[in-house]
Structure 1
Amino acid sequence: MDSYFSLLNLAPTFALDADALERAWREASARVHPDRFATASAAEKRVAMQWASRINQAYEVLRKPVKRAAYLCELAGHSVDAENNTRMDTAFLMKQMQWREELEEAAGDATALQALKTTIDAEEQALERCLTELLDSKKDYATASEKVRQLMFITKIQQEIQSLIA
């Protein structure tokens, strides 16, 4: 089975150009669009729908950094296994605890919530730069798997903050 990258004719890298991904998805989607198969047999229509579904699934995984990083690790045989493996370095665990405390204290205070969001956004950007190096340059998938779990936590707390700001 083709990887999501090969399905969209993209290099398997974490540092993926968002515009190139969008173009690749649109081109692949156009090739299997239902309008192209309007006069096709039922079996051909079904296959086209399966391809369209797979192309959309590839796009959804590759467009989100956390999902793309986890996918690259899995392709290399290093499952992130976030449900069963919650091991993280002590420094990051301390940051988690600090952020959780700040989140509790900031509830209802839009300025404090925005400040926390800015801090966590900066941490996310640093983590994504680290993942670019680990995945694209060093090919250190074991370390990258741990960083992906950290990015998963960051994504979750960002969603919580956003729901409180909105």
Structure 2
Amino acid sequence: MHRLRLIAQPSTSTRSVFFIGKRMLHVSPQSCKRTQDTAPLYQLHARWPKANCPSCNAPLTTSLPTCNNCGYIAPLPSSSKVDYFALFGLPTVKTNENISETEDITRNAFNVDPKELRRRFLQLQKLCHPDRWAQKSPEAAEAAAGQSALLNKAYQTLLSPRKRGEYILSQHGVDILEADNMDEEQDLMLQVMEAREELEEAEGEEVKELLEVNRERIEKATMELENAIAYEDWEEAKRAVIRLRYWESFQRAGTQQDVDH
């Protein structure tokens, strides 16, 4: 069956903008509303379709190969083979390629609700927490420990806007070691050096003021990253990630200086 390919584009209006082929379509937010919070995790993503336990055939209620009914547990694949978004039942970074007919196709994968992410993280951790499996077989305990470790890594990655952006870029094969535009990177480095010099000379309230200015830089870079990912402009997303790296480093240094004094 032919499937229309919809790509979400940022918009300042109250109506979302999508492109179907070369045609533009406006869709109101109300028409895209989902009951995602009340659906089981395994139903929220095509990468983790509804599955049954291979031991007792009961339905698995999450993305984890872990069964509440009979106590079955199996190791997850290596981190590089697990989609972190799918693990938590969130829209994938490759939504346009893997959507089902009933899935939410309007969301920018970068937009993650931290509270909802934590709720899902705790739900999954409760299922595979190593203490719960400590008295089981060595294989079960090892599988639980592996699941728990990967969940923690995935959670920390998606919780941080910068790390989330880096992860999305890595899923699209984008190398973010350095900027392609050296002039732009040099301009950024100059800004960072000047800000560092100001920080070194600052004291008391001056440090707090510089940190507030830098929080605005971080917020701006985060918004630029969000928009770039929405448009699938990977080069701009890469540059935004690099900006975030520098300004987050500055924020850590300034915060430490404020604490020390």
Q: TM-score, normalised by structure 1?
A: 0.89
**How much has 1:15 moved relative to structure 2?**
1.8
Q: Which amino acid aligns with 1:163?
A: Q
**How much has 1:92 moved relative to structure 2?**
2.7
> Runs (4+) of structure 1 moved beyond 6 Å?
none
Answering whether residue 151 of structure 2 is matched by residue 71 of structure 1, we say no
Look at both structures and tell me which one has the larger radius of gyration over its CA atoms. Answer: 2
Answering whether residue 102 of structure 2 is matched by residue 8 of structure 1, we say no
**How much has 1:97 moved relative to structure 2?**
2.8
In 1, Cα distance between equivalents of 2:136 and 2:188:
55
Q: Residue 214 of structure 2 contacts residue 251 of structure 2 at CA under 8 Å; is this kept in 1?
A: yes
- 1:71-114 C-alpha deviation (Å, 9 max, x unpaired): 111111102125x97946154334223212211221xx111111
Paired residue for 2:128, among 7, 32, 36?
Answer: 32
Answering whether residue 115 of structure 2 is matched by residue 19 of structure 1, we say yes
**How much has 1:39 moved relative to structure 2?**
4.0
Answering whether residue 242 of structure 2 is matched by residue 142 of structure 1, we say no
* Stretch deviating more after TM superposition (120-129 or 11-20): 11-20
Higher relative contact order (Cα pairs below 8 Å, separated by 6+ residues) = 1
Structure 2: state its 5+ residue gaps.
1-80, 93-108
Q: Residue 225 of structure 2 contacts residue 236 of structure 2 at CA under 8 Å; is this kept in 1?
A: no
Q: Secondary structure at the match of 1:25?
A: helix
Q: TM-score, normalised by structure 2?
A: 0.58
In 2, Cα distance between equivalents of 1:61 and 1:29:
16
How many residues are paired up? 162
Identity of aligned residues (%): 24
Answering whether residue 245 of structure 2 is matched by residue 152 of structure 1, we say yes
Structure 1: state its 5+ residue gaps.
none
* Stretch deviating more after TM superposition (40-49 or 91-100): 91-100
Q: Secondary structure at the match of 2:177?
A: coil
Going by fraction, where is strand more abundant, 1 or 2?
2
In 2, Cα distance between equivalents of 1:88 and 1:70:
22
Q: Which amino acid aligns with 1:7?
A: L
- 1:49-68 C-alpha deviation (Å, 9 max, x unpaired): 10110001101111111111
Answering whether residue 210 of structure 2 is matched by residue 95 of structure 1, we say no
In 2, Cα distance between equivalents of 1:88 and 1:10:
37
* Stretch deviating more after TM superposition (62-71 or 93-102): 93-102
61 and 87 in structure 1: CA distance in 2 versus 1, 3 angstrom threshold = farther
